Amino acid sequence: MSKIVLITGATAGIGEACAHTFAREKYNLVLTGRRADRLEKLAEKLKAQYGVDVMQLVFDVEDKELVVSKLEGLPEHWKKIDILINNAGLSKGLDPIQAGQFDDWDTMIDTNIKGLLYVSKTVANWMIANGQGHIINMGSIAGKEIYANGNVYCATKAAVDFLSKGMRVDLLPHDIKVTAIHPGAVETEFSMVRFNGDAERAKKVYEGLVPLTAEDIAETIWFAASRPAHVNINEMIITPTRQANATVFNRKV
């Protein structure tokens, strides 16, 4: 029987790239996101290209009741999730703490921390019932080190780092692996979302770098997911070659 991966935030960027990678590896997929039209197109493409089965669940991870009801509404055989990729996430704004917007803070905390928790609790219980599973959380280099004006986004990703460590301990008796992936600069819709569609500002983030691609991260995730049963990759930090850490870049313009 084919294995099943559930990917949150599969409508763009790293989540979408993961959907392609796991479909290539013949996993059936549960794909989630808010943009139903994108999920629909992606599902059709993956089914046609790889011959896999795809379930689409449209929900905002911030909405606790909706998250639980959509997930619990899956047919029973789709709840045998082998791998959960907690990828949905975003940053909003890049301001000093004294100038930050409450709405931006709420969105980041509700999405990156609380949304991840709502999905994880539900799926972890299925994995416990199945006697195995692997949870892969999208952290960030921003959760390992602070950078100027990153304050709340960095804090949400530091929370993902610690939640990953906590999950690894709590789920240990149930043979569930937990991995955290911490990328540096990956060129996706991320910066457009952070800067509310300001394309010029978004472009500058990657200027003079050869940024990572969503596919680079999807292949890293696949590496972690495809280790033998007795091996768990706890965490990985991946940067472009021209990025040393969260703040030091070698930009060649």
- Give the active site residue among 27, 118, 153, 206: 153
- Three-class DSSP category at 235: strand
Largest CA distance in the chain: 54
Residue 193 interacts with, from ligand NDP, ligand 8X3, none (CB under 5-8 Å by kind): ligand NDP
Reported as type and span, the H/E element at residue 135 is strand 133-138
Indicate if 153 belongs to the active site: yes
Residue 120 interacts with, from ligand 8X3, ligand NDP, none (CB under 5-8 Å by kind): none
**Residue 247 beta carbon to ligand NDP: minimum distance, rounded to whole angstroms:** 14
Site residues (CB under 6 A) for ligand NDP, limited to 28-67: 33-35, 60-62
Burial category of 120 from C-beta neighbours within 10 Å (exposed 0-12, middle 13-18, buried 19 and up): buried
**Which stretch in 43-51, 60-68, 135-143, 229-237 sits in contact with ligand 8X3 by CB under 6 A?**
135-143
Q: Which amino acid does the sequence have at 129?
A: A
Per-residue interface string for the shown chain with ligand NDP, residues 72-91, x marking contact by CB under 6 A: ---------------xxxx-
Please report, in angstroms and rounded to a whole number, the separation of the first and last CA atoms in the chain.
50
- Contact between 141 and ligand 8X3 by CB under 6 A: the answer reads yes
- Contact between 12 and ligand 8X3 by CB under 6 A: the answer reads no
**Residue 56 in contact with residue 10, Cβ under 8 Å?**
no
Cα–Cα separations (whole angstroms), residue 90 to 52, 137, 159, 236: 28, 14, 14, 19
- Contact between 180 and ligand 8X3 by CB under 6 A: the answer reads no
Q: Name the site residues for ligand NDP (rule: CB under 6 A).
A: 9-15, 33-35, 60-62, 87-90, 111, 115, 138, 140, 183, 185-186, 188-190, 193, 214
